[in-house]
């Protein structure tokens, strides 16, 4: 039998384990890694051949660098899993059965506070733009743990985008992956950063996030000047 994406995921995760401490990550974190790897198996990042599941361990490493607790790391690892489930129309009961029963209701609640919802509180389906606005509004009421997930998630995705731009001679091919386009995508990262500042999320991770936002804006400005 050949090597699967799932197998490669665990090879990728091994160096990350040592970042926590010499004993490795806890059982709940390892369980979350395995769960996310199985869920994302065969998924690739849009417009690339890179395994999508690398996002989960990268996000966990970011949170571990800032000494976040196990519950926060588990929530971060499962962020994209829950977002996929919500996008696929999972009911509240299905989410509790798939995530809450396995990892605890607090973990599920933390993730739900900082993902884009498909429906609002009245059950009305939200447009792409409305989902973004809804997330920004919910960040006001979100707890500190949830805000850590939001900051780390956008640091990870923004950093990945920035890395892709830096290593290509064809930046428009990178921007073509995003439905909203270059300007709206970069503006979104700026809005997330500013909303976290507005709600008083004053931690050192914000310096990293701000640098990513400014770097993306620099690339956009350079592209506009060359165009």
Q: Which residue, of 89, 112, 135, is where some domain finishes?
A: 112
Identify whether 122 is part of a domain.
no
Residue 149 contacts by C-beta under 8 Å, 6 or more apart in sequence?
63, 72, 75, 76, 79, 110, 111, 114
pLDDT of residue 51: 63
pLDDT of residue 67: 95
Identify whether 120 is part of a domain.
no
Number of domains comprising the chain? 2
pLDDT of residue 53: 72
pLDDT of residue 180: 79
Are 167 and 175 spatial neighbours (Cβ–Cβ below 8 Å)?
Answer: no
**Residues in the chain, pLDDT under 70:** 1-24, 44-52, 221-227
Q: Which residues form the domain of 139?
A: 127-227
Identify whether 158 is part of a domain.
yes
105 and 188 share one domain? no
50 and 108 share one domain? yes
106 and 7 share one domain? yes
Helices (H), 21-54: 27-40
How far CA 175 is from CA of 162, 168, 186, 187, 221, in Å, comes to 11, 11, 10, 13, 14
pLDDT of residue 5: 35
Tell me if residue 51 falls in helix, strand or coil: strand
Supply the CATH number for residue 79's domain: 1.10.3210.10
First to last CA, the chain: 49
35 and 74 share one domain? yes
Closest CA to 114 of 154, 71, 159, 169: 154
Closest CA to 85 of 72, 73, 98: 98
108 and 135 share one domain? no
70 and 27 share one domain? yes
Per-residue model confidence as pLDDT tens digits over 78-126: 999 999 999 888 999 999 999 999 999 999 999 999 999 999 889 899 9
* 44: phi then psi, degrees, rounded to nearest 5: -125, 155
106 and 157 share one domain? no
Identify whether 81 is part of a domain.
yes
Identify whether 225 is part of a domain.
yes
Identify whether 42 is part of a domain.
yes
Q: Which residue, of 52, 78, 112, is where some domain finishes?
A: 112
Hey, CA dihedral for 105, 111, 113, 119, is it positive or negative?
negative
204 and 104 share one domain? no
């Amino acid at each position: 039998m050949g090597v699967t994406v799932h197998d490669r995921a665990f090879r990728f995760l091994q160096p990350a384990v040592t970042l926590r401490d010499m004993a490795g990550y806890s059982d709940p974190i390892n369980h979350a890694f395995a769960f996310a790897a199985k869920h994302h198996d065969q998924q690739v990042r849009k417009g690339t051949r890179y395994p999508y599941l690398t996002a989960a361990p990268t996000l966990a490493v970011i949170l571990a660098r800032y000494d976040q607790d196990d519950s926060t790391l588990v929530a971060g690892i499962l962020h994209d899993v829950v977002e996929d489930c919500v996008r696929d129309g999972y009911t509240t009961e299905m989410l509790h059965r798939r995530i809450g029963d396995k990892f605890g209701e607090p973990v599920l609640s933390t993730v739900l506070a900082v993902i884009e919802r498909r429906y609002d509180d009245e059950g009305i389906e939200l447009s792409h733009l409305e989902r973004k606005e809804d997330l920004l509004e919910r960040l006001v009421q979100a707890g500190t743990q949830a805000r850590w997930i939001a900051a780390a998630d956008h640091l990870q995705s923004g950093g990945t985008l920035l890395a892709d731009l830096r290593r290509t001679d064809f930046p428009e091919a990178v921007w073509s992956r995003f439905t909203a386009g270059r300007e709206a995508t970069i503006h979104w990262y700026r809005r997330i950063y500013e909303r976290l500042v507005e709600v008083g999320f004053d931690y050192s991770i914000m310096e990293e996030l701000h640098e990513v936002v400014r770097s993306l804006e620099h690339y956009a400005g350079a592209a506009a000047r060359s165009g």
